[in-house]
Amino acid sequence: MPKLLMIAEKPSLAQSISSLLSNGRAVVRKGVSPPCSVYEFRGNFQGQNASFRVTSVCGHVNSLDFTGLLGRYTSWERADPAELFTVAPTEKKEANPKLYIIKHLQTEAQGCDGIVLWLDCDKEGENICFEVLDAVDGYLASRTNVWRARFSAITQVEITTALANLIKPDQAAAQAVDARQELDLRVGCAFTRFQTKYFQGRYGDLDSSLVSFGPCQTPTLALCVSRHDEIQAFRPENYWLLQPLVS
- All CATH 3.40.50.140 domain ranges in the chain, comma separated: 3-60+95-168
Q: What angle do CA 73, 78, 84 make, to 5 degrees?
A: 35
Residues in CB range of 108: below 8 A, 6 or more apart: 5, 31, 32, 38, 53, 55
Q: Rounded to an integer, what distance in angstroms lies between the CA atom of residue 72 and that of residue 223?
A: 35
- Amino acid letter, 162: A
Nearest CA to 118 among 106, 107, 105, 132? 132
Mean pLDDT, consecutive 10-residue segments, the chain of 247 residues?
Answer: 96 98 97 98 95 98 86 84 89 96 98 97 97 96 92 96 97 97 93 88 74 87 96 93 89
**DSSP labels, 166-189:** -B---HHHHHHHHHHHHHHHHHHH
- Amino acid letter, 242: L
Q: What angle do CA 9, 138, 14 make, to 5 degrees?
A: 20
CATH 3.90.1150.10 holds for 3-60+95-168: no
Name the pTM for this structure.
0.85
Q: Rounded to an integer, what distance in angstroms lies between the CA atom of residue 68 and that of residue 64?
A: 13
Give the per-residue pLDDT at 200. Answer: 82
Give the per-residue pLDDT at 206. Answer: 67
Give the per-residue pLDDT at 142. Answer: 83
